[in-house]
Amino acid sequence: MIPLVHKLADFWRETIKTLKLIARNKMGFVGFILLLLLILMSFVGPLIVQPEVRADITQIYKPPSWAHPLGTDFQGRENWIMLVHGGAEVIEVAFLAGVMTTIIAVIVGAFSAFLGGKADELIMTVTDVWLALPRGILLIVTAYFVSLQDVWALALFLSVFGWPSLARQVRSQFLSLKKREYVEAAQLLNLGTPHILFREMLPNMMSYILIALIESMTGAIYSQTYLVFLGLVPFGNNWGVLFSLAYAKNAIYNTNAMSSLLVPMGGIVLLQLSLIMFSRSLEEIFNPRLRTGV
């Protein structure tokens, strides 16, 4: 019982310390808070706010006002309610795709760096081939044929296309770490490859991996936005679908309808920006060279 309390107290202290560090970089702090708010809105919000299912034709395309805080869409539904409900899928896909991409990239990169020699060359050649393809177009063509029915499928799909560039970066990080003395020491002690990888090197890479995770997430959001816009992702009621629908209904040319286009777009943009701001502050924290002052 007592050790558990100690562990919790430690964890709490660490969290406060990290939060303070994040707060040092104003932009990163803003990003962090924004991200938190978006996550709250998207996951807790729907529990509080009922989804709008009825279409009210009399309320079509009302511009923002007190009665309709963010305006209404082409079916008379409240935009702000659509906003609250639309984020969850986007964030889920981003997070899952980010995690999967990072895991694949880390495994491939780490083993490639560690095994070296022919194995390394082979893995890197495969990675290079994958990198050299016009992935955007390949993504589109393949999405056409593969049925992407749910969040997991889309996330997996995105990560299959996203891991190569990250794997390269991970590999070079591992290579530079590999040259450090404590790795040599561990090797001399015959501690075995998995041990060296996971107990010695990985902890030093955690910060880097965290930043890589966030970058993968932004990449996933980027890709899913245009896949949805092209109609290749046939599910969901998320921000991507909402703005694509609004666009298809020519909301761009209709000043009243514009809010139904801008609200979901705003959601996506805010999500991306918050992730970027947060990751830049992480970079500053974990990479001392970036910190101001010698």
Partner 1 sequence: MSKPEKKKSLSARILKSYALQTLIKKFFIVWVVVTVSFLIVRGLPGNPVDIMVINLMDTQGISEDEARTRAASLLRLDLDAPLYIQYFDFLGNLVKGDLGDSYVMARGKPVTEIVFQRLPWTLFSVGTSLLISFTLGMFLGIVAAYRRNSLLDQVLSNLSAMIGAVPNTLWAIILVLLLGVVWKVVPLNLMRGSVSPGIKPGLNITFIWDVLKHWFVPGIVYVLTTLGGWMLAMRSSTVSVLGEDYVTVARARGLPDFRIITAYVGRNASLPLVTALAISIGFLLGGSTVIELIFVYQGVGFLMSQAIAKRDYPVMQGILLVTTITVIISTAIADLLYGWLDPRIRIRGEQE
Work out how close the CB of 254 gets to partner 1 at its nearest, in angstroms, rounded to a whole number: 9
Residue placing its CB nearer to partner 1 in the complex, 100 or 221? 221
Work out how close the CB of 207 gets to partner 1 at its nearest, in angstroms, rounded to a whole number: 17
Work out how close the CB of 228 gets to partner 1 at its nearest, in angstroms, rounded to a whole number: 9
Residues in the chain: 294
Residue placing its CB nearer to partner 1 in the complex, 189 or 230? 230
Backbone φ and ψ for 217, nearest 5 degrees, come out as -65, -45
3-state secondary structure 2-56: HHHHHHHHHHHHHHHHHHHHHHHCHHHHHHHHHHHHHHHHHHCHHHHCCCCCCCC
Work out how close the CB of 257 gets to partner 1 at its nearest, in angstroms, rounded to a whole number: 11
Query: 78 by DSSP, 3-state: which?
Result: strand
Work out how close the CB of 42 gets to partner 1 at its nearest, in angstroms, rounded to a whole number: 18
Residue placing its CB nearer to partner 1 in the complex, 56 or 121? 121
Query: 62 by DSSP, 3-state: which?
Result: coil
Rounded to 5 degrees, what angle do the CA atoms 33, 156, 271 make? 20
Residue placing its CB nearer to partner 1 in the complex, 58 or 292? 292
Residues 6+ apart with CB under 8 A from 176: none
Work out how close the CB of 279 gets to partner 1 at its nearest, in angstroms, rounded to a whole number: 8
Residue placing its CB nearer to partner 1 in the complex, 52 or 92? 92
DSSP code of 63? P
Residue placing its CB nearer to partner 1 in the complex, 119 or 230? 230
Taking alpha carbons only, the member of 283, 282, 243 closest to residue 266 is: 243
Site of interaction with partner 1 (CB under 8 A): 27, 125, 128-129, 131-142, 144-147, 218, 221-222, 225-226, 229-232, 243, 247, 252-253, 255, 258, 261-262, 265, 268-269, 272-273, 275-277, 280, 292
Q: Both tokens of residue 34? A: 């924004």
